[in-house]
Amino acid sequence: MTKPYVRLNKDDVAVLLVDHQTGLLSLVRDIDPDKFKNNVLAVADIAKYFKLPTILTTSFENGPNGPLVPELKEAFPDAPYIARPGQINAWDNEEFVKAVKATGKKQLLIAGVVTEVCVAFPALSAIEAGFDVFVVTDASGTFNEVTRHSAWDRMSAAGAQLMTWFGVACELHRDWRNDVEGLGTLFSNHIPDYRNLITSYNTVTSGK
Amino acid sequence: MTKPYVRLNKDDVAVLLVDHQTGLLSLVRDIDPDKFKNNVLAVADIAKYFKLPTILTTSFENGPNGPLVPELKEAFPDAPYIARPGQINAWDNEEFVKAVKATGKKQLLIAGVVTEVCVAFPALSAIEAGFDVFVVTDASGTFNEVTRHSAWDRMSAAGAQLMTWFGVACELHRDWRNDVEGLGTLFSNHIPDYRNLITSYNTVTSGK
Amino acid sequence: MTKPYVRLNKDDVAVLLVDHQTGLLSLVRDIDPDKFKNNVLAVADIAKYFKLPTILTTSFENGPNGPLVPELKEAFPDAPYIARPGQINAWDNEEFVKAVKATGKKQLLIAGVVTEVCVAFPALSAIEAGFDVFVVTDASGTFNEVTRHSAWDRMSAAGAQLMTWFGVACELHRDWRNDVEGLGTLFSNHIPDYRNLITSYNTVTSGK
Amino acid sequence: MTKPYVRLNKDDVAVLLVDHQTGLLSLVRDIDPDKFKNNVLAVADIAKYFKLPTILTTSFENGPNGPLVPELKEAFPDAPYIARPGQINAWDNEEFVKAVKATGKKQLLIAGVVTEVCVAFPALSAIEAGFDVFVVTDASGTFNEVTRHSAWDRMSAAGAQLMTWFGVACELHRDWRNDVEGLGTLFSNHIPDYRNLITSYNTVTSGK
Amino acid sequence: MTKPYVRLNKDDVAVLLVDHQTGLLSLVRDIDPDKFKNNVLAVADIAKYFKLPTILTTSFENGPNGPLVPELKEAFPDAPYIARPGQINAWDNEEFVKAVKATGKKQLLIAGVVTEVCVAFPALSAIEAGFDVFVVTDASGTFNEVTRHSAWDRMSAAGAQLMTWFGVACELHRDWRNDVEGLGTLFSNHIPDYRNLITSYNTVTSGK
Amino acid sequence: MTKPYVRLNKDDVAVLLVDHQTGLLSLVRDIDPDKFKNNVLAVADIAKYFKLPTILTTSFENGPNGPLVPELKEAFPDAPYIARPGQINAWDNEEFVKAVKATGKKQLLIAGVVTEVCVAFPALSAIEAGFDVFVVTDASGTFNEVTRHSAWDRMSAAGAQLMTWFGVACELHRDWRNDVEGLGTLFSNHIPDYRNLITSYNTVTSGK
Amino acid sequence: MTKPYVRLNKDDVAVLLVDHQTGLLSLVRDIDPDKFKNNVLAVADIAKYFKLPTILTTSFENGPNGPLVPELKEAFPDAPYIARPGQINAWDNEEFVKAVKATGKKQLLIAGVVTEVCVAFPALSAIEAGFDVFVVTDASGTFNEVTRHSAWDRMSAAGAQLMTWFGVACELHRDWRNDVEGLGTLFSNHIPDYRNLITSYNTVTSGK
Amino acid sequence: MTKPYVRLNKDDVAVLLVDHQTGLLSLVRDIDPDKFKNNVLAVADIAKYFKLPTILTTSFENGPNGPLVPELKEAFPDAPYIARPGQINAWDNEEFVKAVKATGKKQLLIAGVVTEVCVAFPALSAIEAGFDVFVVTDASGTFNEVTRHSAWDRMSAAGAQLMTWFGVACELHRDWRNDVEGLGTLFSNHIPDYRNLITSYNTVTSGK
């Protein structure tokens, strides 16, 4: 009667980054811009660190929506990049779906702008298509809390799991012993409090 | 075990605008008046743009509740207009239900004032009657966040999908190529940030 | 798969007011005291207006928890009044359950202090016992938003319907024509904005 | 179709306190530190008061995450204490699961830092393993409200019951007559408003 | 270099209630309606309790602004009542200024709707005319916090003292021994927490 | 020792609108976009209604900052328009100061984006130059509340008066009898609550 | 033209704790109870640590206001304790003023409940009497933010310096070398984050 | 009677960065960590860009307070660095004051952790010593809004000017033509919205 625990498995995950474009980002007002930028780049770092196949897509990038933020382009120079000619729901774009299926993964991590459209539409379609969908809520932005919580409710009711980037990283990593240095660096780069803990600790232990 | 993805289909949608009356609007305090007015008029523009059959109804309009806001009357001069003589749940009014059924549509978009009554009651009744119900949460207002979230919980648990006007417009439009100009104008008229993006873009590309 | 629309029916409703005691009320910090007092008295007025059988109960009233607020005692001089000798969950008190069953009603409206205990425990027990439970969320108070939302989640997941007093009054009344004066007075006494609408309207129409 | 009322039973409860470490606590920003400290110590007092078997665990305590807060160590000198060598999900640590099973209890109360990882992961695993899971939301902390509500949604959807420490104490105690003094002291030590009620009451009744 | 302590003296105070009209009140959104109504009526009770000369005034009451709230009319049946024919700043109305001067008082307590206009304008004019001005900030309402704090800054910089009704009552009363019963009743009627303290206390001491 | 009451006098006021440009507006996050747009246009309507000389200026409009919002250009086709070639403080631009002085007005109403720069700098300079400065705080936007309140403190300490557009309109108009229709229309166009009051009133009095 | 820097000097400071009574504390709603209790006890610890003469006073403690919180009584067994028979402004009580003057100190640290009355009145009176007044804002509580900020404005305008307990401790201590252990313990006992820093540090350096 | 406009002049400014240490930063809870880190680094970039003499100082860095954040050390390798042996007010350290005076600058920009101590104390001392003090409020952090606003009030009343980093950069730069590229880069690196504007603009104009 309840959702089973579908656990992220790094061997079975693909990442879909949808419409993080310089124009559209000005619409995001439910998360502070400094924090939101950090969250999105953290997801990118996760994808790279765990070598997760990643797919980039944009909506109408040659107009007011603006180009994909350059940091994402640079992070995934070889990723499938689908500049959608018009489809609002990325899942309505055949090339996009083909790219997703080509990864051979069953678990999809989705983040994008704006949450109730660019994230929710492909999330709902992917669930319908049999995928396990994990929404990275803090790397997905929208106009305000009413739009956010409406979108969350719709996606959760349909079976999507709501996660945030830190939880995603931890669930993928499973065990610190797999690579302390790597995960620690990722956290240090995206969580100032964690970076401070590490600096304090290293300073004391190194006798500096 | 989860709700299926019932997707808005512009050929199968009717819009129900319930009790957006000048007196009742003074009760709405969970959304700022400037924003709320904008959201309601955005829904009206969506209904007109997509030529969705629209039904207007009011409760006791010849008393303190006040008349329907004039902008809605003017937007839908030919729409069925049911001034309910007393029924609080619009669905208890036969004429209203008849008007809904006369549209022949299965998907109902509902917005109104106040959320937990004028929206929730017909939403719950319509679900019971077999319709697919989509609540436009940001064009529905109420007293405060406690009343809002209680109403959302009750409607969501009963199977209503919670959406906001921007998501509704996008899900109905499906593809920008169906009409870039039209959807862009709608967004420009109701999202200042989007209007600014368009102005900036046009200014640069027109060489002005 | 979703909860059916169980609609409040004034012939089938009993009201349970649990532990609105002068000491315990100092624990309520998720709703402002002026508003909370108003909400609780509104529920009392609803119970009296619709002649709903009402049951009062208190926990340890001869100690720091303090007596029931006098307004409630006065409102229901003949109601069953169960001063529980120790049971925290009112439903664990046989006299209380007997009183509930003696009403012969199947729908229970519950409000109390604090939400996650005095409301949630009997609500969950009553659902288990086969009743339809409606929680009046804005006449139920608790320590903060974390305790409130945790309690709401637990009760909603178990099948309780979350409502607020205004929605309750409207769903019970069904049709303004049943008594315009009565319901209008109730709203006027508990919603300053509504009172103002009525005063403005009456002033103009009476030519004063 | 709804979750049944699984009621906490003090004879069938074990408490899992996960990663309340001095370093990790600096990450908690969704609850004020004064209140959070109080909530965690209240859970500890509950565990001791009701003599609930309690299990302590930490993640990487010899690094930046820091040691378990000393108050918890001192409160449970004889409790199983699993300093996990690397597993992020405590349930992935065999010793931890063995300790849980050794308690012979079916109901698990879980609190920890941070909510979406150290609480959610073992909560989801324990549900999968057939336990009844109760999350103590106000003794579990995380980065912000987005991470909190995403975690709550995921756990609730999987069947966890969201509770707070005050509700836990009340549901375990059942009846004040079991020990008025004991429960009163626990509340007095962790709820300033309650302490004030008791002081006022005692002052008047003692004629001081 | 700092403002001297001009202390309210009940023999030298007049109260000015400006534009608490049923229509204008719908503009007040910086204080919750339940609380705001309570605050305004508390000021009225203070004026009556301390027998302070009180002046009522309205702006355009025969139009959309609506009539003065009836409670104020009833509370001060014999007070000067100036229905201003058009002046927005009450101080621009000669009859109003004459009424103020006729009280012979030098200290003016001002409350009204909306703060930055109906309160600030006469406050600034009265200071200029040599009066000591005390603004009852919590019985004065306006659109939002930006308008409120701008108005406060302007009035404070000009020399107005910002007070709230509870402080006003206390500064006027000076000593509980002047009348315990009277002041206690006033507080009990307008502060639910205080009422509860009194009820708890009386219950215990009366042995009930 | 306190600021004197310098009252806006429509014959002695000039309006300075500084850098309301389509790009810079995306930086404004202390006021919701719907409301902010409304506030800025309200100031424009005030300037036109009271025939106040108005000066427009922009910073680097041929770059990312974007053009002035078209609504302002259209509202003031004949106003001095100073596209500053680089000066951040408009007062450092001689042409701008010359235009201000050419108005012959001593009272300056300033609004702009962002508050702590485009508003505060010319406000401080103008005070130094002997002008009476009134900041329209709700038509001036900035990054967040920290930047806003720091800017307000600096300007207020320097002698600027903080006002909002509604107060400005009222102080300029002085008396409704000067033109009920005109001011009412201005309010109706920019305050939904006021518009609703008027519609309700007109509906009743017209017998519709 | 600005206030000079009057710096706290531990040899010239007396502490006035006004009306922290168990009943009155239920009125405090602008600071969370856990935090407020902590702040008040921190001030008590400061007074004891720096051996500052401290004066306790209460208002009507044999009635609903309740007794002084026992922790304060126990902390200062030998302090002057003035149970005022009725004066609301403690400074109106001769015995209180005599006790203040008997300390021979010129700098007064004041904290109490509620801010706008029990703190503001004696603060304003003491300034008038020539004392340097420092308000400990976070150990002073009141109904809400409107009452708080009105009280702060009135006191600041009159020349009071607004401080919080941490700043007070630091300004009194001047130099960590005066006693690292002592001040560190005080902070550790009242700032969970600081306690965690110390525990982390000690753990690492002690090689545990 | 009001503060004169003391304008930042890049030839007369020194920057004081006080106690941005890895341990102390965990105390900062009035600004989100992502944003706060960004603000502090922005001030560092400003100091470097405008070649402002900068002084670093720490409190007890070999203990729980932790070392200066490495980014600041690296940014100013040749700056005076005063590791204070115990003085809480940096101005009490002779070496620090000597370093300040050695810069020969009269305008001091101060930022630090925590605001009411590490910023306010030296700010007040520096004003007393005849410097013009500008506090960078958004690069100064503290426990909560009560401590922040108390500190702001004390500093502002003493004559400090409250600014934020963006305003500081703009007031120092005066004119974009001095270096468009440089200032643009600084903004692009610290304001995601600005970076997006630039990227959008460059993309369109470069024809990409």
User: Which residues of chain A neighbour H33 with C-beta distances below 8 Å?
Assistant: 191-193
CB of D120 less than 8 A from some CB of A: yes
**Which chains border F (3 or more CB–CB pairs < 8 Å)?**
A, B, C, E, H
* Cβ contact, residue pair D176, C66, below 8 Å: no
> Quick one: pLDDT at residue A189?
98
Considering only alpha carbons, which residue of chain A is nearest residue F25?
A26
Write out the H or E segment, with its range, that includes residue E34.
helix E33-49
User: Are A138 and D150 in contact (CB < 8 Å)?
Assistant: yes
Q: Is E146 on the interface with B (CB under 8 A)?
A: no
**pLDDT confidence of residue A1:** 54
Q: Return the percentage of chain H with pLDDT > 70, whole number.
A: 99
Facing residue for A192 by CB, picked from H33, H191, H208: H33
Cα separations in angstroms, B6 against B2, B3, B131, H142: 12, 8, 11, 49
Average pLDDT over residues E56-84: 97
Share of chain C above pLDDT 70, in %: 99
At residue C208, the pLDDT reads 62
For residue E6, what are the contacts with CB-CB under 8 A and spacing of at least 6? E107, E132, E161
pLDDT given for residue C1 in this prediction: 54
Q: What is the mean pLDDT of residues F17-28?
A: 98
- Helix-helix angle E145-157:F165-173, to 10 degrees: 60
Element (DSSP H or E) covering residue A132: strand A132-136
Which H or E element spans position G36? Answer: helix G33-49
Output phi, psi for E107, to 5 deg.
Answer: -105, 125
Contact F121 H161 (CB under 8 A): no
- Region G136-162 average pLDDT: 97
Distance CA E37, CA C193 (A): 10
Active site residues of H: 118
User: pLDDT band at D1, cuts 50/70/90?
Assistant: low
- In this predicted model, what pLDDT tens digit does every residue of E127-169 receive, in sequence order? 999 999 999 999 999 999 999 999 999 999 999 999 999 999 9
Judge: B200–H205 Cβ closer than 8 Å, yes or no: no
> How confident is the model over A133-145, as a mean pLDDT?
98
Q: Which residues of B touch F203 (CB under 8 A)?
A: 22, 66-67
End-to-end Cα separation, chain G, in angstroms: 56
Average pLDDT over residues E27-35: 98
- pLDDT tens-place string over residues C125-136: 999 999 999 999
Q: Which secondary structure element, helix H or strand E, spans residue H123, and what is its range?
A: helix H120-128
The residues facing G108 across adjacent strands are G14, G133
Cβ neighbours, 10 Å, residue F47: 25
> At which residue do the structure tokens 């609504």 appear?
F71
Q: Quote the pLDDT of residue B4.
A: 77
For chain G, which chains pass the contact test of at least 3 CB pairs under 8 Å? A, C, D, E, H
First to last CA, chain D: 56
Mutation pick from G27, G165, G195, G196 vs chain D, by most beta carbons of D within 10 Å, is: G196
CB contact under 8 A, F205 and C200: no
Q: Are B202 and F70 in contact (CB under 8 A)?
A: no
**Helix (H, G, I), strand (E, B), or coil: what is residue E134?**
strand
Strand order in the sheet with C132-136: C81-84, C54-59, C13-18, C107-112, C132-136, C161-163
Give the number of other CB atoms < 10 A from CB of residue D208: 9
Write the DSSP assignment of E149-179 as a string of letters: HHHHHHHHHTTPEEE-HHHHHHHHH-BGGG-
Q: How far apart are the first and last CA of chain F?
A: 56
Residue type at position H123: A
Considering only CA atoms, give the Rg of chain E: 17
CB contact under 8 Å between C201 and F200, yes or no, is: yes
DSSP A1-43: ---------GGGEEEEEE--BTTGGGG--SS-HHHHHHHHHHH
Alpha-carbon dihedral G125, G128, G129, G133, rounded to 10 degrees: 70
CA D170 to chain centre: 14
Nearest to E12 by CA among E55, E44, E51: E51
List of chains touching E (3+ CB pairs within 8 A): B, C, D, F, G
Give the distance from residue E140's alpha carbon to the nearest chain G alpha carbon, in angstroms. 11
| Res D10 pLDDT > 70 | yes
| HSE value, Cβ hemisphere, 13 Å, CA-based, for H3 | 24
Q: How much of chain C exceeds pLDDT 90, in percent?
A: 96
Query: Is residue B5 classed as helix, strand or coil in its secondary structure?
Result: coil
Q: What is the pTM of this model?
A: 0.97
On whether any CB of chain A is under 8 Å from the CB of H10, the answer is: no
Q: In the prediction, which pLDDT does G23 show?
A: 98
**What tens-digit pLDDT sequence spans chain B (208 residues)?**
567 789 999 999 999 999 999 999 999 999 999 999 999 999 999 999 999 999 999 999 999 999 999 999 999 999 999 999 999 999 999 999 999 999 999 999 999 999 999 999 999 999 999 999 999 999 999 999 999 999 999 999 999 999 999 999 999 999 999 999 999 999 999 999 999 999 999 999 987 6
Does residue F3 surpass a pLDDT of 80? no
* CATH 3.40.50.850 intervals, chain C: 11-173
Sign of the Cα torsion B34, B35, B40, B42 reads: positive
Q: How far is D58 from chain H (nearest CA, A)?
A: 21
Q: Which of A118, A135, A139, A155 is the catalytic position? A: A118
And the tokens for C43? 């529920």
Catalytic pick among F44, F79, F108, F118? F118
The tokens for H197 are: 């504007």
The partner residues of F56 in beta bridges, in order of sequence, read F17, F81
What pLDDT does A3 receive? 73
pLDDT at E208 over 70: no
DSSP, collapsed to helix, strand or coil, labels residue E79 as: coil
C167 vs E: CB within 8 A: no
**Interface with A, mutate which of F22, F26, F31 (most A CBs under 10 A):** F26
pLDDT band at F58 (very low <50, low <70, confident <90, very high): very high
**What gap in Å lies between CA F62 and CA H142, rounded to an integer?**
40
Nearest by CB to residue E26, choosing from B26, B32, B144, is B26
CB contacts of D4 in chain C (<8 Å) are 128, 158
**Does B have 3 or more CB contacts under 8 Å with G?**
no
| Statement: residue G1 has pLDDT above 60 | no
Give kind and range of the element (H or E) at residue F162.
strand F161-163
Q: What percent of chain E has pLDDT over 70?
A: 99
The average pLDDT across F123-142 equals: 97
- A144 inside 8 A of chain D by CB: no
Q: What is the dihedral of CA H137, F25, F36, F108, to 10 degrees?
A: 80
F72 or B1: which leads in pLDDT: F72
**Burial (CB count <10 Å: 0-12, 13-18, 19+), residue H97:** middle
Beta carbons within 8 Å of H147's beta carbon, 6+ residues apart: G138, G164, G166, G167, H30, H114, H115, H116
Mean pLDDT score of chain G: 96
| CATH class of the domain defined by C11-173 | alpha beta
Is the pLDDT at E114 greater than 60? The verdict is yes
Confidence of residue H181 (pLDDT cuts 50, 70, 90): very high
Task: Indicate whether C83 pLDDT > 80.
Answer: yes
Residue in H with minimal Cα distance to G180:
H86
pLDDT (mean) for D185-206: 96
Q: In this predicted complex, what is the ipTM?
A: 0.96
* In contact, D70 and D37? CB cutoff 8 Å: no
Q: pLDDT band for position A163 (50/70/90)?
A: very high
User: Does the annotation mark G118 as catalytic?
Assistant: yes
Residues D57-103 have pLDDT tens digits of: 999 999 999 999 999 999 999 999 999 999 999 999 999 999 999 99
